[in-house]
Amino acid sequence: MDITELAQLALSKITGITHNANLRHFWVYVLCGMAIAVCAHRVGGDDRKFHSVFFRKEVWGSRSAFIDYIILIANPIIMVLAFDWLLKKLWSLSAIVASGVKSFGADLQSESGSIWVAVALTVSLYVVNDFMRWWLHYLQHKIPVLWEFHKIHHSAEHLNFATAERHHPLDAVFFLTGTISAAALVNGIFVGLFGDQLTVYQLGGANVIFFGSNLIGGVLRHSPAWVSYGPRIEKWLISPAMHQIHHSSDPKHWDKNMGGGLAIWDRMGGTLYVPKGREELDFGIGEETQDYRTVYGIYIEPLIKAKRIFQRG
Protein backbone atom coordinates (compact mmCIF):
# COMPACT_ATOMS: atom_id res chain seq x y z
CA MET A 1 0.00 0.00 0.00
CA ASP A 2 1.60 3.28 -1.15
CA ILE A 3 1.46 6.71 0.47
CA THR A 4 -1.44 7.82 -1.76
CA GLU A 5 -3.61 4.91 -0.65
CA LEU A 6 -2.73 5.55 3.00
CA ALA A 7 -3.69 9.21 2.58
CA GLN A 8 -6.99 8.20 1.02
CA LEU A 9 -7.66 5.88 3.96
CA ALA A 10 -6.76 8.57 6.46
CA LEU A 11 -9.22 10.98 4.87
CA SER A 12 -11.95 8.43 4.15
CA LYS A 13 -14.17 9.51 7.03
CA ILE A 14 -13.84 13.14 5.99
CA THR A 15 -14.33 12.64 2.25
CA GLY A 16 -17.22 10.31 3.05
CA ILE A 17 -19.23 13.38 4.01
CA THR A 18 -19.99 13.92 0.33
CA HIS A 19 -20.98 10.42 -0.74
CA ASN A 20 -21.26 7.87 2.10
CA ALA A 21 -24.78 7.81 3.51
CA ASN A 22 -23.72 5.14 6.04
CA LEU A 23 -21.79 7.81 7.94
CA ARG A 24 -23.73 9.88 10.43
CA HIS A 25 -21.98 13.03 9.20
CA PHE A 26 -23.11 12.52 5.59
CA TRP A 27 -23.84 16.01 4.18
CA VAL A 28 -27.60 15.45 3.92
CA TYR A 29 -27.77 14.48 7.60
CA VAL A 30 -25.61 17.45 8.57
CA LEU A 31 -27.83 19.94 6.74
CA CYS A 32 -31.02 18.47 8.20
CA GLY A 33 -29.42 18.25 11.63
CA MET A 34 -28.29 21.87 11.60
CA ALA A 35 -31.78 23.01 10.57
CA ILE A 36 -33.29 20.96 13.41
CA ALA A 37 -30.72 22.29 15.88
CA VAL A 38 -31.51 25.92 14.99
CA CYS A 39 -35.26 25.32 15.33
CA ALA A 40 -34.86 23.43 18.62
CA HIS A 41 -32.67 26.22 20.00
CA ARG A 42 -35.27 28.86 19.20
CA VAL A 43 -38.23 26.83 20.43
CA GLY A 44 -36.33 25.82 23.56
CA GLY A 45 -36.23 29.38 24.80
CA ASP A 46 -32.45 29.56 25.22
CA ASP A 47 -31.52 33.23 25.53
CA ARG A 48 -28.03 32.63 24.14
CA LYS A 49 -27.36 33.04 20.44
CA PHE A 50 -27.21 29.74 18.57
CA HIS A 51 -23.66 30.24 17.28
CA SER A 52 -22.41 30.98 20.80
CA VAL A 53 -23.68 27.56 21.89
CA PHE A 54 -23.02 25.38 18.86
CA PHE A 55 -19.70 26.86 17.75
CA ARG A 56 -18.05 27.34 21.13
CA LYS A 57 -14.27 27.10 20.93
CA GLU A 58 -14.04 24.29 23.48
CA VAL A 59 -16.44 22.14 21.42
CA TRP A 60 -14.42 22.29 18.21
CA GLY A 61 -10.97 23.52 19.31
CA SER A 62 -10.28 21.90 22.70
CA ARG A 63 -7.71 19.17 23.46
CA SER A 64 -10.61 16.70 23.51
CA ALA A 65 -11.69 17.81 20.02
CA PHE A 66 -8.18 17.49 18.60
CA ILE A 67 -7.97 13.94 19.95
CA ASP A 68 -11.24 13.28 18.09
CA TYR A 69 -9.67 14.56 14.87
CA ILE A 70 -6.55 12.42 15.29
CA ILE A 71 -8.65 9.29 15.83
CA LEU A 72 -10.81 10.21 12.84
CA ILE A 73 -7.72 10.13 10.61
CA ALA A 74 -5.70 7.34 12.27
CA ASN A 75 -8.36 4.68 12.83
CA PRO A 76 -9.27 4.00 9.18
CA ILE A 77 -5.61 3.18 8.48
CA ILE A 78 -5.32 0.93 11.53
CA MET A 79 -8.58 -0.85 10.76
CA VAL A 80 -7.68 -1.62 7.14
CA LEU A 81 -4.07 -2.62 7.80
CA ALA A 82 -4.79 -4.76 10.86
CA PHE A 83 -8.38 -5.98 10.66
CA ASP A 84 -9.67 -5.77 7.10
CA TRP A 85 -9.07 -9.50 6.58
CA LEU A 86 -11.27 -10.34 9.59
CA LEU A 87 -14.17 -8.12 8.59
CA LYS A 88 -14.16 -9.50 5.04
CA LYS A 89 -14.12 -13.01 6.46
CA LEU A 90 -17.20 -12.26 8.54
CA TRP A 91 -19.19 -11.28 5.45
CA SER A 92 -18.46 -14.73 4.01
CA LEU A 93 -20.73 -16.14 6.73
CA SER A 94 -23.65 -15.09 4.54
CA ALA A 95 -22.84 -17.74 1.93
CA ILE A 96 -22.39 -20.40 4.63
CA VAL A 97 -25.76 -19.59 6.19
CA ALA A 98 -27.46 -19.50 2.77
CA SER A 99 -26.04 -22.92 1.95
CA GLY A 100 -27.32 -24.27 5.26
CA VAL A 101 -30.81 -22.90 4.65
CA LYS A 102 -30.90 -24.37 1.14
CA SER A 103 -29.88 -27.76 2.52
CA PHE A 104 -33.23 -27.95 4.31
CA GLY A 105 -34.93 -27.89 0.91
CA ALA A 106 -36.66 -24.54 1.25
CA ASP A 107 -37.17 -22.93 -2.16
CA LEU A 108 -39.05 -19.64 -2.38
CA GLN A 109 -37.03 -18.14 -5.23
CA SER A 110 -40.19 -17.44 -7.21
CA GLU A 111 -40.92 -14.79 -4.57
CA SER A 112 -37.50 -13.14 -4.81
CA GLY A 113 -38.85 -10.21 -6.84
CA SER A 114 -41.77 -9.57 -4.51
CA ILE A 115 -42.01 -6.12 -2.99
CA TRP A 116 -42.85 -7.75 0.34
CA VAL A 117 -39.63 -9.75 0.35
CA ALA A 118 -37.68 -6.54 -0.30
CA VAL A 119 -39.54 -4.77 2.51
CA ALA A 120 -39.00 -7.72 4.87
CA LEU A 121 -35.27 -7.79 4.13
CA THR A 122 -34.93 -4.03 4.55
CA VAL A 123 -36.80 -4.00 7.86
CA SER A 124 -35.08 -7.15 9.15
CA LEU A 125 -31.60 -5.77 8.47
CA TYR A 126 -32.44 -2.52 10.25
CA VAL A 127 -34.15 -4.06 13.29
CA VAL A 128 -31.52 -6.78 13.80
CA ASN A 129 -28.72 -4.23 13.41
CA ASP A 130 -30.40 -1.86 15.85
CA PHE A 131 -30.85 -4.61 18.44
CA MET A 132 -27.22 -5.70 18.03
CA ARG A 133 -26.06 -2.11 18.48
CA TRP A 134 -27.88 -1.98 21.82
CA TRP A 135 -26.77 -5.42 23.01
CA LEU A 136 -23.11 -4.99 22.04
CA HIS A 137 -23.12 -1.54 23.59
CA TYR A 138 -24.60 -3.03 26.76
CA LEU A 139 -21.78 -5.58 26.88
CA GLN A 140 -19.20 -2.83 26.32
CA HIS A 141 -20.43 -1.16 29.49
CA LYS A 142 -20.95 -4.24 31.64
CA ILE A 143 -17.90 -6.42 30.88
CA PRO A 144 -14.81 -4.87 32.53
CA VAL A 145 -12.32 -5.73 29.78
CA LEU A 146 -14.60 -4.36 27.08
CA TRP A 147 -15.26 -1.25 29.14
CA GLU A 148 -11.55 -0.46 29.28
CA PHE A 149 -11.59 -0.02 25.50
CA HIS A 150 -15.03 1.59 25.30
CA LYS A 151 -13.94 4.24 27.80
CA ILE A 152 -12.19 6.00 24.94
CA HIS A 153 -15.55 6.97 23.46
CA HIS A 154 -16.78 8.24 26.81
CA SER A 155 -13.60 10.14 27.61
CA ALA A 156 -14.66 12.96 25.26
CA GLU A 157 -15.10 16.13 27.33
CA HIS A 158 -17.01 17.92 24.58
CA LEU A 159 -19.21 16.42 21.89
CA ASN A 160 -18.77 17.34 18.23
CA PHE A 161 -19.49 15.50 14.98
CA ALA A 162 -16.06 13.81 15.02
CA THR A 163 -16.72 12.30 18.47
CA ALA A 164 -18.94 9.72 16.78
CA GLU A 165 -15.75 8.11 15.45
CA ARG A 166 -13.87 8.29 18.78
CA HIS A 167 -13.24 4.58 19.39
CA HIS A 168 -10.27 2.42 20.23
CA PRO A 169 -9.63 0.11 17.24
CA LEU A 170 -10.25 -3.02 19.34
CA ASP A 171 -13.51 -1.54 20.59
CA ALA A 172 -14.52 -0.91 16.97
CA VAL A 173 -13.52 -4.46 15.95
CA PHE A 174 -15.66 -5.97 18.72
CA PHE A 175 -18.64 -3.90 17.66
CA LEU A 176 -18.20 -4.54 13.94
CA THR A 177 -17.72 -8.26 14.50
CA GLY A 178 -21.16 -8.42 16.10
CA THR A 179 -23.02 -6.18 13.67
CA ILE A 180 -21.45 -7.66 10.52
CA SER A 181 -22.08 -11.21 11.72
CA ALA A 182 -25.73 -10.37 12.40
CA ALA A 183 -26.15 -8.74 8.98
CA ALA A 184 -24.47 -11.72 7.29
CA LEU A 185 -26.85 -14.06 9.14
CA VAL A 186 -29.94 -12.13 8.00
CA ASN A 187 -28.63 -11.91 4.43
CA GLY A 188 -27.79 -15.60 4.44
CA ILE A 189 -31.28 -16.61 5.57
CA PHE A 190 -32.95 -14.49 2.90
CA VAL A 191 -30.58 -15.65 0.15
CA GLY A 192 -31.12 -19.26 1.18
CA LEU A 193 -34.89 -18.83 1.02
CA PHE A 194 -35.32 -16.49 -1.93
CA GLY A 195 -32.09 -16.64 -3.94
CA ASP A 196 -29.50 -13.93 -4.39
CA GLN A 197 -31.62 -11.64 -6.58
CA LEU A 198 -32.79 -9.61 -3.59
CA THR A 199 -33.25 -5.89 -3.23
CA VAL A 200 -32.70 -3.80 -0.13
CA TYR A 201 -34.44 -0.44 -0.27
CA GLN A 202 -31.73 2.19 -0.06
CA LEU A 203 -31.17 5.91 -0.34
CA GLY A 204 -27.65 7.06 -1.10
CA GLY A 205 -26.38 3.52 -0.50
CA ALA A 206 -27.82 3.28 3.03
CA ASN A 207 -30.76 1.29 4.36
CA VAL A 208 -33.73 3.59 3.79
CA ILE A 209 -34.84 3.30 7.44
CA PHE A 210 -31.35 4.24 8.65
CA PHE A 211 -31.37 7.12 6.17
CA GLY A 212 -34.72 8.34 7.49
CA SER A 213 -33.69 8.05 11.14
CA ASN A 214 -30.67 10.23 10.45
CA LEU A 215 -32.77 12.89 8.78
CA ILE A 216 -34.36 13.62 12.17
CA GLY A 217 -31.10 14.61 13.83
CA GLY A 218 -28.85 11.56 14.08
CA VAL A 219 -25.75 13.69 13.50
CA LEU A 220 -26.67 15.77 16.57
CA ARG A 221 -26.14 12.84 18.94
CA HIS A 222 -22.56 14.05 19.24
CA SER A 223 -22.96 17.81 19.28
CA PRO A 224 -23.62 20.67 21.70
CA ALA A 225 -27.23 21.01 20.49
CA TRP A 226 -29.95 19.79 22.85
CA VAL A 227 -32.64 18.22 20.67
CA SER A 228 -35.36 16.25 22.44
CA TYR A 229 -38.33 14.60 20.74
CA GLY A 230 -40.46 14.78 23.88
CA PRO A 231 -41.27 11.99 26.38
CA ARG A 232 -43.94 10.27 24.29
CA ILE A 233 -41.72 9.80 21.24
CA GLU A 234 -38.60 9.11 23.30
CA LYS A 235 -40.20 5.95 24.66
CA TRP A 236 -39.78 4.65 21.13
CA LEU A 237 -36.91 6.59 19.51
CA ILE A 238 -33.50 7.65 20.84
CA SER A 239 -33.19 11.43 20.47
CA PRO A 240 -29.90 13.34 20.29
CA ALA A 241 -30.54 14.61 23.83
CA MET A 242 -30.92 11.05 25.10
CA HIS A 243 -27.56 10.02 23.65
CA GLN A 244 -25.91 13.09 25.14
CA ILE A 245 -27.29 11.93 28.49
CA HIS A 246 -25.56 8.61 27.80
CA HIS A 247 -22.26 10.54 27.67
CA SER A 248 -22.97 12.44 30.89
CA SER A 249 -20.52 12.22 33.79
CA ASP A 250 -23.44 12.33 36.28
CA PRO A 251 -23.78 8.88 37.97
CA LYS A 252 -27.57 8.90 37.52
CA HIS A 253 -26.99 8.84 33.74
CA TRP A 254 -24.42 6.04 33.68
CA ASP A 255 -25.27 3.02 31.50
CA LYS A 256 -28.47 4.64 30.20
CA ASN A 257 -29.77 5.02 26.63
CA MET A 258 -27.45 2.56 24.92
CA GLY A 259 -29.67 2.17 21.87
CA GLY A 260 -28.88 3.35 18.37
CA GLY A 261 -32.21 4.32 16.83
CA LEU A 262 -35.02 2.51 18.65
CA ALA A 263 -35.61 3.01 22.37
CA ILE A 264 -37.50 -0.26 22.81
CA TRP A 265 -34.33 -2.25 23.58
CA ASP A 266 -33.41 0.14 26.40
CA ARG A 267 -36.99 -0.02 27.68
CA MET A 268 -36.92 -3.83 27.68
CA GLY A 269 -33.45 -3.92 29.24
CA GLY A 270 -34.15 -1.37 31.96
CA THR A 271 -31.57 1.09 30.62
CA LEU A 272 -33.94 3.77 29.29
CA TYR A 273 -33.70 7.31 30.65
CA VAL A 274 -36.21 9.78 29.24
CA PRO A 275 -35.48 13.39 30.24
CA LYS A 276 -38.42 15.44 31.52
CA GLY A 277 -36.83 18.62 30.25
CA ARG A 278 -33.51 20.15 29.29
CA GLU A 279 -30.62 19.02 31.50
CA GLU A 280 -27.24 20.70 31.82
CA LEU A 281 -24.60 18.06 31.22
CA ASP A 282 -20.88 17.60 31.75
CA PHE A 283 -19.13 14.90 29.77
CA GLY A 284 -16.32 12.47 30.50
CA ILE A 285 -15.62 9.69 32.98
CA GLY A 286 -14.62 11.69 36.03
CA GLU A 287 -11.04 11.84 37.22
CA GLU A 288 -10.05 9.01 34.89
CA THR A 289 -10.75 11.28 31.91
CA GLN A 290 -7.24 12.74 32.30
CA ASP A 291 -5.76 9.36 31.30
CA TYR A 292 -7.12 9.80 27.78
CA ARG A 293 -6.01 13.30 26.85
CA THR A 294 -3.04 12.10 24.78
CA VAL A 295 -2.60 9.80 21.79
CA TYR A 296 -0.66 7.42 24.05
CA GLY A 297 -3.54 7.38 26.51
CA ILE A 298 -6.08 6.72 23.76
CA TYR A 299 -4.30 3.80 22.10
CA ILE A 300 -2.00 2.27 24.76
CA GLU A 301 -3.62 2.92 28.16
CA PRO A 302 -6.60 0.60 27.47
CA LEU A 303 -4.20 -2.24 26.60
CA ILE A 304 -2.34 -1.77 29.89
CA LYS A 305 -5.53 -1.66 31.94
CA ALA A 306 -7.04 -4.66 30.14
CA LYS A 307 -3.85 -6.63 30.82
CA ARG A 308 -4.16 -5.84 34.55
CA ILE A 309 -7.70 -7.23 34.53
CA PHE A 310 -6.55 -10.47 32.94
CA GLN A 311 -3.66 -10.74 35.41
CA ARG A 312 -6.02 -10.27 38.37
CA GLY A 313 -8.42 -12.84 36.94
- Partners of 207 in the β-ladder: 202
- What confidence score (pLDDT) does residue 185 get? 97
pLDDT bucket at 107, cuts 50 / 70 / 90: low
Residue 41 scores a pLDDT above 70: yes
Q: In the predicted model, what is the mean pLDDT of residues 88-106? A: 90
How far are the Cα atoms of 119, 261, 263, 285 from residue 308, in angstroms, in the given order? 48, 35, 35, 19
Residue 234 pLDDT level (bands cut at 50, 70, 90): very high
Q: Report the percent of the chain where pLDDT is more than 90.
A: 85
Q: Give pLDDT, residue 7.
A: 87
Residue partners of 72: CB distance under 8 A and separation at least 6: 13, 14, 162, 165, 166
pLDDT band at 111 (very low <50, low <70, confident <90, very high): low
pTM of the model: 0.94
Range with lowest mean pLDDT among 106-115, 122-131, 253-262: 106-115
Count up the domains in the chain and report the number.
1
Contact between 221 and 164 (Cβ < 8 Å): yes
Helix axes 169-194, 63-91, angle to 10 degrees: 30
Q: What does the pLDDT read at residue 19?
A: 92
Between 12 and 5, name the one with better pLDDT.
Answer: 12
- Residues 283, 156 contacting (CB under 8 angstroms): yes
Cα(56)–Cα(261) distance, rounded to whole angstroms? 27
pLDDT, one tens digit per residue, over 53-89 is 999 999 999 999 999 999 999 999 999 999 999 999 9
- Whats the size of the chain, residue-wise? 313
Residue 159: is its pLDDT beyond 90?
Answer: yes
Which range has the worst mean pLDDT, 43-52, 104-113, 171-180, 277-286?
Answer: 104-113
Mean pLDDT for the chain overall: 94
pLDDT at 112: 64
- Contacting residues for 210 by C-beta, under 8 A, at least 6 apart: 22, 126, 129, 261
Q: What CA–CA distances, in Å, run from 303 to 60, 75, 177, 215?
A: 28, 16, 19, 37
Q: Which amino acid is at 181?
A: S
- The pLDDT of residue 198 is 85
- Burial environment of residue 208 by CB neighbours within 10 A (0 to 12, 13 to 18, 19 or more): middle
* Domain carrying residue 127: 3-312
Question: Checking DSSP bridges between strand 206-207 and strand 202-203, what pairing results, if any?
Answer: antiparallel
Mean pLDDT of 157-171: 97
- Segments of 188-284 assigned E as strands: 202-203, 206-207
Tell me the per-residue pLDDT of 114-137, one tens digit each, with 9 for 90 and over: 899 999 999 999 999 999 999 999
